[in-house]
Each structure stands twice: as C-alpha cells, then as structure tokens.
C-alpha cells in the first residue's frame, strides 16, 4: 500500500469491517478495520469489494473505483454525503437506488448490506452506491 497517512483527522466512515479515509478532494480509501474482531474477514471483505467493482465495471449509479490493492479500495469522493443525510429529492433517490440494486442483481451480485448510508450523492446530487 502506498505510504499515505491514514489517521483520525481524515477518517470519514467506520464500519464493522472497513474504515473510510478521505485522501484528497476526489478520493477516499477503504481499508480493513484495524479494531475488527475478525481481521482476516475484514481483509477478505476489502479484496472481495475490489473484485466486485471490477466485475460491475462503470455504471452511473455505482461509485467509481479508482484504485485497489490487497488491503485497500480507493473510490471517488462523494461530496454531498449519503442519501440518509438529505431530506430533499427522496423520490429521485429511491428510483436511483432501485436502479442500482437491479443493475447489481442483474450482474449476479447480491448486495448484502443495503441501507441509506450506503447510497452516496455525487456532485450533481445523483445517487450512487458503494
């Protein structure tokens, strides 16, 4: 993994298996959660996520994977947060979320953690999943 300072100051998300750090204006990095009870599973989860991004390819409702390695996945930064944090345009978000899930399922992937905080808003307030 490149020598990048991942610290509490750039930590923007914490999950069971991964932590998300903002690297710069356009990129975030997901890494295995160091405090995970099952670090092996956390590492496998990150690797699997990278494989899924490769499998799905580009789609307007899938956040872009801009880099990956054995211990990280780099994604485009979504400057407007997730749909859970917005009270406006909920019908648009619902349609876009459904479109995303249909696309993922049509490609043989079952998204096992659907929740509002998994859907991010890009610079044009369009919904994308991670």
Alpha helices in the chain (DSSP H): 39-56, 90-106
Q: Is 92 left (phi over 0), alpha (psi -120 to 50) or beta?
A: alpha
Average pLDDT for residues 56-83, to the nearest whole number?
A: 91
Q: Which of the four pLDDT bands, split at 50, 70 and 90, describes residue 87? A: low
- List pLDDT tens digits, range 14-34: 888 899 999 988 999 999 987
Note the pLDDT tens digit of each residue in 36-48.
Answer: 788 899 999 999 9
User: Which residues in 2-123 belong to E strands, given as ranges?
Assistant: 11-14, 18-24, 27-32, 65-69, 72-76, 119-121
Q: What is the second-level CATH architecture of the domain 8-129?
A: Orthogonal Bundle (1.10)
Cα gap 93→75, rounded to integer Å: 20
């Amino acid at each position: 993994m490149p020598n990048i300072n991942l610290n509490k100051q750039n930590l923007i998300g914490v999950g069971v298996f991964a932590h998300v750090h903002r690297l710069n204006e356009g990129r975030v990095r997901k890494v295995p959660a160091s405090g995970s009870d099952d670090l092996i599973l956390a590492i496998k989860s990150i690797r699997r996520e990278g494989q899924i991004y490769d499998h799905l390819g580009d789609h307007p409702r899938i956040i872009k994977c801009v880099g990956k390695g054995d211990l990280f996945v780099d994604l485009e930064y979504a400057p407007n947060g997730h749909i859970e944090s917005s009270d406006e345009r909920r019908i648009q978000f619902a349609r876009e979320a459904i479109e995303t899930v249909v696309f993922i399922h049509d490609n043989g992937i079952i998204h096992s953690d659907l929740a509002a905080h998994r859907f991010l808003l890009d610079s044009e307030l369009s919904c994308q999943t991670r």
